Amino acid sequence: MTLPDPAVLLPRMAAELTRHLQAHRIDTPRFVGIHTGGVWVAQALLAALGREEPLGVLDVSFYRDDFTQSGLHPQVRPSALPFEIEGQHLVLVDDVLMTGRTVRAALNELFDYGRPASVTLVCLLDLDARELPIRPDVVGQTLSLAPDERVKLLGPAPLALERQALASA
Ligand SMILES: O=P(O)(O)OC[C@H]1O[C@H](OP(=O)(O)OP(=O)(O)O)[C@H](O)[C@@H]1O
Ligand SMILES: O=c1cc[nH]c(=O)[nH]1
């Protein structure tokens, strides 16, 4: 199966997000991307929406539930949220949603900064392999991979999806 082109998915996602925000009467959303791929997608989405505003960046490494098993990634960066979280309507963006564990970690981190009024979840690809009750509000495309396959977002520009074989243990 051919992987989709992010440049095709992003304008559709921008239109669907606009409809979602209007339907929920959200006028001033604050965008937060999950490092690394989610930040690239959030930047592309802001550009597609014609919005120029600071983007929050979350590195969820310390909040992962496999943190003690996997060790710390050498490029862990502090999160940077250039706006209040308390009472805000957040748009949380990631590139790939698979088990939902990264989004769980992101929500835990966000709630350590304050209580948002709402969180809208946007992802470029949904791999339909959830291990937690988390669902996206806006999704570029849903794909099912073979058990030994993974996808990787290459970026930041141009964005492209690459198929990878899962390294055997
Ligand atoms: O739903 P999950 O099973 O948690 O998987 C989704 C996460 O996997 C990838 O993160 P990765 O840690 O590879 O970071 P990256 O963005 O730097 O590639 C991807 O960017 C998502 O954040
Ligand atoms: O295939 C996958 C699964 C999880 N996260 C990714 O980035 N790709």
Task: Look up the CATH number of the domain holding residue 26.
Answer: 3.40.50.2020
What's the DSSP call for residue 61?
G
Whether 158 maps to a domain, the answer reads yes
Q: Is 68 or 52 the better-scoring residue by pLDDT?
A: 52
Whether 146 maps to a domain, the answer reads yes
pTM beyond 0.80, yes or no: yes
User: Which ligand neighbours the alpha carbon of 129 most closely?
Assistant: 1
Q: Report whether residue 95 contacts ligand 1, using a CB cutoff of 6 Å.
A: yes
Cis peptide before 29 (omega within 30 of 0): no
Q: Which domain does 17 fall in, by range?
A: 6-68+77-165
Whether 32 maps to a domain, the answer reads yes
Whether 127 maps to a domain, the answer reads yes
* Number of domains into which the chain is organized: 1
Does 94 have pLDDT greater than 90? yes
**Distance, CA of 115 to CA of 122 (rounded, Å):** 19
Report the SS3 class of residue 52.
coil
Could you tell which of 150, 162, 163, 166 is best to mutate to test the pocket of ligand 2, judged by most ligand atoms within 8 Å of the CB? Answer: 150
Q: Report whether residue 139 contacts ligand 2, using a CB cutoff of 6 Å.
A: no
Whether 132 maps to a domain, the answer reads yes
Whether 109 maps to a domain, the answer reads yes
Does 91 have pLDDT greater than 80? yes
What is the interface pTM, i.e. ipTM, of the complex?
0.96
Whether 1 maps to a domain, the answer reads no
Mean of pLDDT over the chain: 94
Could you tell which of 145, 151, 154 is best to mutate to test the pocket of ligand 2, judged by most ligand atoms within 8 Å of the CB? Answer: 151
Distance (Å) from CA 87 to ligand 2 centroid: 31
What is the model's pLDDT at position 64? Answer: 86
H or E element, residue 29: none
